[in-house]
A and B are shown apart, each in its own frame.
Chain A
Amino acid sequence: MTTTTSPVLSASGVTMRFGGLTAVRSVDLTVNSGEIVGLIGPNGAGKTTFFNCLTGLYVPTEGNVTYQGDILPPKPHLVTQAGVARTFQNIRLFANMTVLENVLVGRHTRTKEGLWSALLRGPGFKRAEAASKERAMELLEFTGLADKADHLSRNLPYGEQRKLEIARALASDPGLLLLDEPTAGMNPQETRATEELVFAIRDQGTAVLVIEHDMRFIFNLCDRVTVLVQGQKLIEGTPDVVQSDERVIAAYIGTPFEGAPGDDEVAEVEAAEAEAAEAQQDTGPSGTPKSTTARTEDGQ
């Protein structure tokens, strides 16, 4: 399905620790241009944390992320500037701005009118504003929200809020779009529509990395699927391969099996968490993640 294989995003050895808890452990992941890649795994597997590491919301404890060959700086606005946009699992729209304004905020990185030009309102400013609005309306058209442009985003129904998040993310003309559970809370029709939307986004040349629990959605959509369990990559492959892997099924159903990556960690993580909590209590503010991390590493 992929036309070219140049990697858009590649993460290598990304590890994220919170105190004693290793939420993401040495994950490698590549997204090629023109690809839709799925990221699945049970709740708490570290998928959202991994997204946060990619987008600079968290600074990964170890590992690095490159976008089109350049290392991404761990600052969210620079990541977006570079061309990686995202949506949030728990919708984070600007609730009291209109739908159109939300998308216009998404245009921020692709426009550069500063305070002076806003105050002086020269022809350049007006042109840029008009162009931004035009592009924003295009995106609302694309996501089917054009007729709600003047509504406050908080008043949109849930499914449309998710779509608006996608429109807002697309406004930065990203080369890679990260979607965190884009169909959570949607009914089957809305899910179908979102599927079409993701295909359309891919067809416009934006690679997509999507977290989702809806397996039908994932297996329909994705060229490759990566499974994350207990912060670790369990398997990666085409939907067919992943679908038939017994470990994946077990991870979702929760049956323990020989050599499950989570097995020994469960105990370890619990112990470490307790220890970290304790450490935090008696050392107070000095009990920074680093010191507790060091301790758990000793215990390994």
Chain B
Amino acid sequence: MSTDTSKTTGESTDTGGRATMLRAITAVGGLASVVSTFLAWTWTDEFPGDLTFNGYPGGLQILTLVLGLLTTVFALAAMDLRGLRWLTPAGSTQALRLMALGTFATTWFTVIAIAVDLGGLANWEPGAWVAAIGSAIPLAALLLPNDTRPLKRPAELPSWAEILIIAAVFAIGLYVVNYGIQTDPDHPEPFLGYLIAVGFAAAALFKAGIVARMSALTAKYRSVTLLAALVTAVAFPFTQDKASYTELGVNILIFATVALGLNIVVGLAGLLDLGYVAFLGVGAYTAALVSGSTSSTLDVHFPFWAAVIAGAVVSLIFGVVIGAPTLRLRGDYLAIVTLGFGEIFRLAMQNMDGVSGPSVTNGPNGIPNIPPLEIFGFNFDEDHTVLGRTLDSNANYFLLMLLVTVVVVLVFSRAGNSRIGRAWVAIREDETAATAMGINGFRVKLIAFALGATLAGVAGTVWAHVQTTVVPEQYVFAGPVPPNSTFLLAAVILGGMGTIGGPLLGATLLFLIPKKLEFFQDYQLLAFGIALILIMRFRPEGIIPNRRQQLEYHETDQLDAPDQPQLSGNAVGVTKAEA
């Protein structure tokens, strides 16, 4: 480890030696953190996650273990250790700093939480002291000189290796998501620690340039990536062992899908829809009315496919009725009209109870007892054993919803990357110029708006069955529980407008955080607001930026040319309109 393998040109040997020294210290600190996780950090299992074992890590210690290891590995990569250089294509220092900070923050969060929860430092076992000191050592990385460099073209790997990497990344991704979903919901500590750890690690990987390299890989193997994503998603319910986890999963999937539908309207066509949740409601109410529920005022029982079509068609009609008069006008009329529509929908559902209006929806009581779905004799409410794993009702609906998600993803990417999608983006960019290029602005906007409404309606039909009941109060503009229009819009903006991954990630975070952190629920709307302000200030393009927007907001990060020269052979065909 002491042999200096770094041949940083232009640096005097003195500062080079100092940097190597700092990196070595960081590596040692990472190792110390790792070692500490094998010791007991406290004496009682009252602290969530039981950190009392000597010999193997548990609970929050796992996070320290992983981050400590990553810190060590990145420190070694920074020392130019052969075989690790691929980890830091865009420079090692910033990544190393973030990893070190992550290790420190996660570990100190844990040991401080132990002291606070259990009342004093007396509750620290020696392992906690080792962890606290060990995890502070890597902060030496903060003294390192910056070495950010432009991304180099990666060495070509054989394609089977690249495909394996993609598969591995998705497997790791599933593990990370599962870890978050399966944290103890009764205690906030594990999930908070998880957020800290994942946040720092993700930022570090991004700064290292490894995220950019991965997205280049996934762009190269599009169909493999899609398949891997699908397999990962299908695997999700098979890796859960509690009904509460699959319930989280199916809810996240539904809201993520609806948010993605909204992203067509907001992200691609640039139309501000403040009442989008009403279209989810239209679909849900339609499905509930034709579900054969004893409380439904319609005495019909459609098969599910017919209910889906009914939900889609009714939502489409509402979309056109709302959109047609409004989209002719320029300006912010649409925002106001959709805001009004969202409220009118809720109030109408509330009042169509046979007393203040026609008897359709049972008013505030909603339509309960929606019978479970049954498709080809497969009852969605019963447990089924598939491949040795028991899938509960939520898992069944998760798999059904996944079909809808796949459809929405396909619609988003196919429509987005076509004549109509380009017209949407053109309208968003400059409506006057777009119409002067022959685009019928009204028509194109109406298609986007109605398409978004239809997709929400389809999701609503599944949502009604998952909930087994629909009530008007679920469809508000802003509220503490999703779905509501603010939640969906925030998911799109937070995650990244105009991308597929953005709304999925945004909805996951926004749904999971209040579920896992109960103390947080009362302040959820406040936190929404603060989070959005922070996002707008520091990362207006969202967590997952679309290539265009990243350029729009950060003029200095010149990425104007594609990150890698397009393969000269088919230079024409490969502009990917990511949005």
Contact = CB atoms under 8 A, between A and B. Distances in A.
Interface of A: 55, 57, 75-77, 80-81, 85-86, 88, 92-98, 100-101, 104-109, 111, 113-115, 118-119, 121, 125, 128-130, 132-134, 137, 149-152, 154-155, 168-169, 171-172
26 contacts: A57-B436, A77-B441, A80-B436, A86-B436, A92-B433, A92-B436, A93-B430, A95-B430, A97-B426, A101-B577, A104-B419, A104-B422, A108-B422, A111-B419, A118-B414, A118-B418, A119-B414, A128-B419, A129-B418, A134-B572, A149-B571, A150-B575, A151-B560, A155-B558, A169-B437, A172-B438
Contacts of A94: 425-426, 429-430, 433-434
B310 interface: no
A129 B414 CA distance: 12
A95 B551 CA distance: 10
A108 B437 contact: yes
Nearest to A94: B429
B552 A96 contact: yes
Given A108-B437, A172-B437, A119 B571 contact: no
A113 B419 contact: yes
Grouping DSSP codes into helix (H, G, I), strand (E, B) and loop, the B interface class, with mixed when no group exceeds half, is helix
Nearest to B430: A92
* Band of interface residues on B: 35 or more
A101 B434 CA distance: 12
B566 interface: yes
Contacts of A129: 418-419
B314 interface: no
A88 B575 contact: no
B548 A97 contact: yes
Nearest to B436: A76
Nearest first, the 8 closest Cβ-Cβ pairs linking A and B are: A109-B438, A118-B418, A80-B438, A155-B560, A92-B433, A96-B548, A94-B429, A76-B435
A168 B451 CA distance: 28
A80 B436 CA distance: 7
Nearest to A92: B433
Count chain B CB atoms within 10 A of each CB in A76, A100, A169 and give the residue with the most. A76
Interface of B: 410-411, 414-415, 418-423, 425-426, 429-430, 432-441, 447, 451, 548-549, 551-552, 558, 560-562, 566, 571-573, 575, 577
A57 B420 contact: no
A97 B422 contact: yes
Nearest to B435: A76
Nearest to A97: B425
A121 B437 contact: no
A57 B432 contact: yes
B566 A150 contact: yes
Contacts of A118: 414-415, 418-421
A105 B420 contact: no
Count chain A CB atoms within 10 A of each CB in B419, B436, B441, B549 and give the residue with the most. B436
Contacts of A128: 419
Given A96-B551, A115-B447, A119-B415, A80 B572 contact: no
A93 B426 CA distance: 9
B420 A115 contact: yes
Contacts of B423: 105, 108
A115 B440 CA distance: 14
B548 A130 contact: no
Nearest to A136: B572
A95 B549 CA distance: 10
B259 to A, nearest CB: 20
Contacts of B447: 115
A130 B573 CA distance: 7
B566 A105 contact: no
Contacts of B560: 151-152, 155
A145 B411 CA distance: 32
A169 B433 CA distance: 10
Nearest to A99: B575
Contact of A77 (B411, B438, B549, B571): B438
B512 to A, nearest CB: 31
Contacts of A130: 573
B418 A149 contact: no
A270 B458 CA distance: 59
Contacts of B549: 96
A104 B575 CA distance: 11
A177 to B, nearest CB: 12
Contacts of A88: 433, 436
A98 B417 CA distance: 13
